[in-house]
Structure 1
Amino acid sequence: MAGLWRSYQVLMTKYPWSVQIVTAGSLVGVGDVISQQLIERKGLANHSIQRTAKMMSIGFFFVGPVIGGWYKVLDKLVVGGTKTAAMKKMLVDQVCFAPCFLGGFLCISGALNGLTLEDNVAKLKRDYTDALIANYYLWPPVQIANFYFIPLQHRLAVVQIVAIAWNSYLSWKANKM
């Protein structure tokens, strides 16, 4: 395990943006597999590989780039590594970024699932508030620790590791018709 972490560190040093995006996409995919197998109990015979591929594509092309970029912006908006700075970063993240990101995620997943604009809006109205409330139960303490203890280049990975459970929930929420 230590060797795997060292390899990850080397790759993060050489290719930080690419590694963050691949990590995000992979872990969103893991979240979907967990959602289908443990939450929805579909079984391997009924597992939708197409759905997992769609969720991974959201991770590669939306989650990874958007969150990775957001952390860079946030570090410029709120400078420092103190407890106060970590609290400010968490507040800006949860008040400004999280609601927009969550809406974007749900809309993109709806579009990839073939929902019409009207159906996507109806699904968003139905699921958004519950998902945002769930977000506020999980993410504030995680983000305070993330912003206080974790260097910028590792924040997305830490968030995505914690987010395996969150991605499982979001995948279930996004694909519940």
Structure 2
Amino acid sequence: MSSIAGAAASKTLWGKIKSVPIQHPFAFGFFLSGFKTSFSDLLVQKVVEQRETIDWKRNAAFASFGFFYLGGVQYAIYVPLFSRMFPGAAGFAAKSLRDKLKDAKGMFQCGAQVVLDQCVHHPLMYFPVFYCTRELVVHDEPDLKRCLNEYRGNMKEDLVALWKVWVPSTIINFAFMPMWARIPFVAATSLLWTSILSAMRGGD
């Protein structure tokens, strides 16, 4: 009886855990994105760069970007904004693969979301905010013009690296993820991407 009760309790606990991102998608995405971004940078500093001491200003820049942009602004883009721009997105994501292939309008909307995200959102918002956040947090005398000029010089390399990870990931996200799971899925993929970004630009 005790084993049955224990199994029932574990199922109840797991059910409660699974319900968190559904019932509280913004809060879940906000905290997950922030902690994940900080962890990715710490991982790169200690494992990849093998630093003896952590650069906490750099890590604070990544954490700030993770909490407020990835967890906040991206949530607003991927859920409320894209839901209004592409009202059929949630229904398309819930369909079976066979039904998706029959839904030309749904596939077009999925493709449009990918293009907007990768060719508008990331080049014009994500990267400028990242560079500015890093500049404001890390430097005692931040120069936003200088950091944006730095981004212009790095843009091609940054976007190519981004698209290698995010184009396939974004297709999966917009084609298959329910609306509540979009930010958690992005956060999971971003664990890899943020490590790459930290290695590329964290020490600049």
TM-score calculated relative to the size of structure 1: 0.86
**2:87 is matched with which residue: 66, 79, 88?**
79
User: What one-letter code is carried by the residue in structure 2 that aligns with 1:91?
Assistant: V
Q: 1:8 and 1:128, CA in 2 relative to 1: closer, same or farther beyond 3 A? A: farther
Distance 1:126 1:7 in 2: 47
Alignment match of 1:124 (pick from 143, 151, 172):
151
AA of the residue aligned to 2:181: H
Deviation per CA, 1:29-57: give whole Å up to 9, x if none. Answer: 12111221233222xx3223343233112
- 2:42 touches 2:59 (CA, 8 Å); kept in 1? yes
- Which moved further from structure 2: 146-155 or 128-137? 128-137
Contact 1:111 1:120 in 2 (8 A): no
Tell me what 2:97 maps to: none
CA contact (8 A) 1:103 1:128 kept: no
The alpha carbon displacement at 1:21 in A equals: 0.3
Letter in 2 for 1:54: A
TM-superposed CA distance for 1:66, in Å, is 0.9
Residue in 1 that maps onto 2:59: 52
Determine if contact 2:128/2:148 at 8 Å carries over to the other structure.
no
Moved more, 46-55 or 66-75: 46-55
The one-letter code of the counterpart of 2:83 is D
Tell me, yes or no, if the aligned pair for 2:41 and 2:59 is still in contact at 8 Å: yes
Structure 2 spans left out of the alignment, 5+ residues? 1-10, 93-105
Q: Which residue of 2 aligns with 1:112?
A: 137
2:6 maps to which residue? none
Structure 1 residues without counterparts, runs of 5 or longer: none
Q: Counterpart of 1:162?
A: 189
How large is the Cα RMSD of the aligned pairs? 2.3
Farther off after superposition, 15-24 or 102-111: 102-111
Given the two structures, how large is their TM-score scaled by the length of structure 2? 0.76
Q: Is the 8 A contact 2:57 2:138 kept in 1?
A: no
- Paired residues, what number? 175
Please give the secondary structure, in 1, of the residue aligned with 2:50.
coil
TM alignment of 1:12-161, pairs within 5 A: 12-42=21-51, 45-72=52-79, 73-80=81-88, 81=92, 82-100=106-124, 101-114=126-139, 115-161=142-188
**Code of the aligned partner of 2:129:** G
Whether the 8 Å contact between 1:24 and 1:63 is mirrored in structure 2 is: yes
Offset, 1:76: 1.6
Per-residue deviation, 1:5: 6.2
Aligned-residue identity in percent: 22
Tell me the distance in 2 between the aligned counterparts of 1:91 and 1:3: 40
Partner of 1:9: 18
Q: Structure 1 residues 56, 3: CA separation in 2 closer, same or farther (over 3 Å shift)?
A: farther
Cα distance, 1:110–1:128 mapped onto 2, change above 3 Å: farther
Deviation at 1:118, TM superposition (A): 4.6
What is the SS of the residue equivalent to 1:79? coil
